[in-house]
Amino acid sequence: MLEIGPHNKEASIKNLGLVTKRARYNARETPLLETALQRNEGRLSRSGGLVVSTGQYTGRSPSDKHIVDEKTSTQSIWWEGNNRISPEHFEILKTDLFDYLKSCEVEVQDLECGADSENSVSVRLVAELSWHALFLRHLLRRPDLRETSTYVPDYTIVNAPGFKADPKRHGTKSETVIVISFDQKIVLIGGTEYAGENKKAAFTIMNHIYPAVGILPMHCSATDAKDGVSGSAIFFGLSGTGKTTLSSDPTRLLIGDDEHGWSDSGVFNFEGGCYAKTIKLSREAEPDIWHATHSPATVLENVVIDPESRQLDLDDNKHTENTRAAYPLSILNNTSPDSKGAAPKNIFLLTCDAYGVTPPVSRLTPKQARTFFLLGFTSKVAGTERGVVGATPTFSTCFGAPFLTRNPEVYADMFEDRVSRSDAKVWLINTGWTGGGAQNGKRMPIRVTRLLINAVLDGDFEAVSFRRDPLWGTMVPETGPRGTVQYLNPRSNWEDKDEYDKASADLASMISQRLLDQGIENDLIGQF
C-alpha cells in the first residue's frame, strides 16, 4: 500500500485494517479537481466548477441508514427512528467493503466538525471518488496542514459507491447502505454516489455526541448582526425550506447554512462550507449563492451544463430538482470570521406548508415552540430524498429526524431550556404555498419572507398589534412592511374560501392525530 501526502503516520488507515492500492492524504482543492477530471468523474464548467452526476440516486437514502446495535450504545439509541443492524452483520459488511477497496486508489481527508475548538470532533473521510473528497473538504472544517502530522480521527467515514451490499449477507434493506458503529467509531457507505450522505453521516455523529456534553445540535442556518445589537438568529428547517437562502443576507454575517451547536457560549457552526440548492437560482435574488455556484472548484451536483460552451443551466431540472452546489465559506464575503455567534435573540421555525393555510409569519409561546419543534411539520420537496417527486406534507421531529440518534425528548428538553435561558423569541415562518395548496396556489415570494424576517430582526413588530391565528393558535402581526400585508391572513388570499376552510380542517385533523400518536403535549391552541 502506497501512502502519500501529509498525515500522521501513526494514525494511518491501516490501523482500521484497511489496505488499499494507494492512499493519498489531504490533497488540496486543485489536485483533487485535477484527479477527478483525469478519472472522468466530472466535467469542468465554464467558470471552473466541477459538474458531477450522482448517478441513480440524486438524494439521500434514509431508509438504508443503520446503526449497529452494540452494548455500549444501544440504551441511548432512539430505535423507533433508526434501523438496527447486528454486530455480526456489520463485521461481515466491513470485511467485504474493505476487500472491495483493496484494489482502489483512495483519497483521505482529515477534517474537523465544530468551530468551538474545545468541543470539535475530528472526522476523517476515506473516499473511493476524488470528487467526494473535494466535496467534504469544502463542507467540513479544514485543519491547517501543519496539524495533520498529529491528527488522530475521532470518527472515520469510509465511502465506496462502487460497493453493493447484499441484503441477505449483510442484513441491509437494499444494495445501498449507510451504517454507523458508535463502538468502533466508523461509518460505512456503499451503493450510492450521492455525496450528501458523507455530510449527513458527520451530522448524525454530532447529534449523538453533543447532547452528552450539554450542547444542542441543530439542523439550522445561523446569522449574526453586523451592528452587534440585533443579535444572532437561527433558522430551523428541512432541506428546501429556505435555510441557506434566508441566511444569505448582505445586511448580516453568515455563521453557517445548515448545521450548528448551541452551547453555554452561544451558537457555532459545525461546518466550513455550504451546500446550496441551485435549481432556478437567481443572480438578482441570491447574488452570494449565485457567485459561489460560478466559482472555481465548486462541486455542482446534477446541474445541467451545455456540452460545448460549458455554461451552467440552473433552470433545467431534467436530472433532478435537487441540484446542488458545495463550496467553502471562504468564497463568500459576508461571513462571521470565527463561525460563532452569541445566543440567538430570534429563532425561526421554517415550515413549507403544502396546504397553503399557514401565515407567513407568526409568534409562538415557549410551550408552542417546544410542541412545534417536536412536531416538525413541513413538506419534503422534490429530489431531497429518493422517491420524493413533489411537495409532500411530512413531519420531521426536531427538524432533523433522519439524523437523530437519541430520543427526540432529549433534544426538545435542551431546546426548551436554551430558549428559556436566552429569552429568545420564536417565530413560525411559512415558506410554502399561499393562495392555495401545492396543486393550485403559488410559493410564498422569497421577497415577502425576507421583508418579514428583517422586520422581526429590526424589532418592527414590537409596537404592532397581533391577532390569534385560528388554525395554529400562534400570534400573527396585523400589519407589516409594504408588500407583505396582503399575505398575513392566509384565508383572504384564497379565491374559494370554502376550499381554504376544508384544507385548514384537513391539516388540523392530520396535526391532531400526529400529536396524539406521538404523545406530544398539545400547546398549539387553534382548531386542535
Render each residue's pLDDT in the chain as its tens digit; 528 residues. Answer: 889 999 999 999 999 999 999 999 999 999 999 999 999 999 999 999 999 999 999 999 999 999 999 999 999 999 999 999 999 999 999 999 999 999 999 999 999 999 999 999 999 999 999 999 999 999 999 998 888 999 999 999 999 999 999 999 999 999 999 999 999 999 999 999 999 999 999 999 999 999 999 999 999 999 999 876 768 999 999 877 889 889 988 889 999 999 999 999 999 999 999 999 999 999 988 899 999 999 999 999 999 999 999 999 999 999 999 999 999 999 998 999 999 999 999 999 999 999 999 999 999 999 999 999 999 999 876 545 555 445 678 899 999 999 999 999 999 999 999 999 999 999 999 999 999 999 899 999 999 999 999 999 999 999 999 999 999 999 999 999 999 999 999 999 999 999 999 999 999 999 988 998 888 887 775 554
Return the CATH number of the domain spanning residue range 216-272+338-518: 3.90.228.20
CA distance 443 to 435: 9
**Per the residue annotation, which of 244, 379, 397, 405 is the catalytic one?**
244
String of DSSP letters for 18-53: ---SEEEES--HHHHHHHHHHTTS-EE-TTS-EEE-
Query: Has 208 been annotated as catalytic?
Result: no
Q: Is 450 one of the annotated active-site residues of the chain?
A: no
249 and 449 Cβ atoms separated by less than 8 Å: no
Q: Which residues contact 422 (CB under 8 A, 6 or more apart)?
A: 343, 344, 345
Mean pLDDT over the full length of the chain:
94
**β-bridge pairing 155-160 and 121-127:** parallel
* 329 burial level (CB within 10 Å; 0-12, 13-18, 19+): buried
89 is catalytic: no
Answer yes or no: 244 catalytic: yes
What are the sequence ranges of the domains in the chain? Answer: 2-40+61-193, 216-272+338-518, 275-331
> The cell 453557517 sits on which residue?
256
The DSSP secondary structure of 304-339, one letter per residue, reads EE-TTT--EETT--SS-S--EEEEEGGG-SSB-TTS
Catalytic site residue from 7, 60, 142, 294: 60
Catalytic residue among 24, 243, 345, 450: 243
**Cell triple for residue 400?**
432533523
- β strands within 161-311, DSSP E: 177-181, 186-190, 216-225, 233-236, 252-256, 259-263, 266-269, 273-277, 299-301, 304-305
Give per-residue pLDDT as tens, 111-122: 999 999 999 999
Dist. CA 189–CA 198, nearest whole Å: 8
CATH number of 275-331: 2.170.8.10
Which residues lie across from 275 on neighbouring strands? 326
Integer Cα distance of 405 and 77 in angstroms: 5
Q: Write down the catalytic residue from 137, 219, 252, 294.
A: 219
Active-site hit among 258, 288, 353, 469: 258
Active-site residue, from 94, 142, 199, 324: 324
pLDDT tens digit string along 381-403?
654 555 544 567 889 999 999 99
243 is catalytic: yes
pTM of structure: 0.93
Query: Could you say which of 66, 124, 132, 200 is catalytic?
Result: 200
221 is catalytic: no
Reference 31, options 300, 297, 295; nearest CA is 297
φ and ψ at residue 189, rounded to 5 degrees: -130, 130
Of 122, 239, 247, 378, the active-site residue reads 239
Topology classification of domain 2-40+61-193: Phosphoenolpyruvate Carboxykinase; domain 1 (3.40.449)
Strands 425-430, 346-351: pairing is: parallel
Evaluate whether 279 touches 317 at the Cβ level (below 8 Å). yes
Q: Say whether 324 is catalytic.
A: yes
**418 flagged as catalytic:** no
